[in-house]
């Protein structure tokens, strides 16, 4: 009886995770909200005269967006890059 229970617990999963749907959800819903929050923070700081902090934060945000864009590019064309390198 214990062996049967172990076999049932170790069964293969029947479904799969829709990773493309998850990525699309984050790109279409979460990212614009986060960018809007950053924009409100930057506008609030700029209105108080903290221009140097706004410029520093803006530069950090732009670098972060560049990393995200690079990761998205590798997500879509990574397999062909690997094929070029190793074939």
Query: What's residue 68's pLDDT?
Result: 82
Whether this model's pTM surpasses 0.75: no
Query: What's residue 11's pLDDT?
Result: 61
User: What whole-number distance in Å separates Cα of residue 46 and Cα of residue 54?
Assistant: 6
Torsions phi, psi for 14 (to 5 deg): -85, -25
Query: What's residue 74's pLDDT?
Result: 81
Helix and strand counts by DSSP (H, E) for the chain: 4, 0
How confident is the prediction along the chain (87 residues), in pLDDT tens digits per residue? 555 555 556 566 677 777 788 878 887 888 888 888 888 888 888 888 888 888 888 888 889 888 888 887 887 788 888 888 887
Query: What's residue 3's pLDDT?
Result: 55
The gap from C-alpha 72 to its chain's centroid, in whole angstroms, comes to 8
Sorted by where each begins, the domain ranges of the chain are 18-86
What CA dihedral angle connects 32, 63, 70 and 25, to 10 degrees? -20
Query: What's residue 42's pLDDT?
Result: 83
């Amino acid at each position: 009886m214990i062996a049967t229970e172990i076999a049932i617990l170790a069964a293969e999963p029947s479904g799969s995770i829709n990773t493309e749907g998850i990525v699309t959800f984050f790109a279409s819903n979460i990212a614009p909200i986060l960018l809007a929050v950053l924009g409100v923070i930057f506008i609030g700081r700029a209105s108080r005269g903290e221009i140097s902090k706004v410029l520093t934060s803006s530069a950090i945000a732009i670098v972060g967006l560049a990393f995200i864009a690079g990761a998205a590019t590798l997500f879509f064309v990574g397999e062909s890059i690997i094929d070029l390198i190793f074939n």
